[in-house]
Amino acid sequence: MRIFRELGWFFRQEKRSYAIGVLTLFLVALMELFPPYVIGVIVDAIESDTRLPA
């Protein structure tokens, strides 16, 4: 943990870049959940022989 204390000035100086990076990682994680959801909806619709919601 000592290394973080020594580099604290750098993290504070670049906090905007780190915030953008964390937000981007969060959005990418959410986007990775979308294709399995769509595939699940399609498979469920085929299995129950119903039309997909428009």
CA distances from 32 to 1, 7, 20, 37 (A): 32, 33, 18, 10
pTM of the model: 0.61
User: What is the per-residue pLDDT for 3?
Assistant: 87
Q: Which pLDDT tens digit goes with each residue over 24-41?
A: 999 999 999 999 999 998
Chain-centroid distance of CA 30 in Å reads 3
Which residues, in sequence order, are CB contacts of 33 under 8 Å at separation 6+?
none
Q: How far is the C-alpha of 50 from the C-alpha of 45, rounded, in Å?
A: 5
Domain definitions of the chain by residue range: 20-54
Q: Which of 18, 1, 2 is nearest to 10 (CA)?
A: 18
